[in-house]
Amino acid sequence: MNIPADLKYTPSHEWVRVEADGTLTVGITHHAQDLLGDMVFIENPAAGRALKKGEECAVVESVKAASDVYAPVAGEVIAANGDVESSPEAINKDAYSAWMFKLKPANAADVAELMDAAAYQKLVESEAH
C-alpha cells in the first residue's frame, strides 16, 4: 500500500501536503487511481475560486468512470496543475507527484482535522473487507 507518511488524507481519497508556507497541495491517492484505472481527463478548479470544505471542486475521469474530487478544507484555489490536465496518465504513474491544485486554507487549524497516514491506511483496509 503506497501511503506516504508525510501527507494528510481525506476519507474521500484525496491526499494533502502542507507546504512550508502553510498552503496545501492536493491530489488523489494511489489507492484511488488504482481503483479508477487509466486516467484520461482532469478538470481542475480555477485559481481564485473560494471553496467550502467538502465542496465538489474537481473531476478525474478514467476510461471507466468519472469521479468528483472534494475540497479537503475551506480555502481559496491559488494554482491548478496544467501539466496533469494535459497528461492525466501522470496520476497513474505517480499519484503523489501528480498534484491537482493548491489551496490557501481559510483557517490553518483546519488541517489538523485531516487524517494521517495510519488513519487513512485503516480506512482503506476497512473498505477492503
Contact residues for other proteins, defined by CB under 8 A: 11-14, 28, 31-32, 35-38, 40-41, 43, 59-70, 92, 124, 127-129
3-class secondary-structure state, position 107: coil
Alpha helices in 28-116 (DSSP H): 30-36, 82-86, 90-93
27/75 with CB nearer other proteins: 27
CA distances from 40 to 25, 31, 94, 123 (A): 21, 17, 15, 27
Query: Rounded distance, CA 82 to CA 106, Å?
Result: 24
4/11 with CB nearer other proteins: 11
CB of 21 to other proteins, least distance (A): 28
CB of 10 to other proteins, least distance (A): 9
CB of 118 to other proteins, least distance (A): 18
Identify whether the C-beta of residue 72 lies closer than 8 Å to the C-beta of residue 9.
no
92/121 with CB nearer other proteins: 92
Identify whether the C-beta of residue 39 lies closer than 8 Å to the C-beta of residue 92.
yes
CB of 83 to other proteins, least distance (A): 15
30/102 with CB nearer other proteins: 30
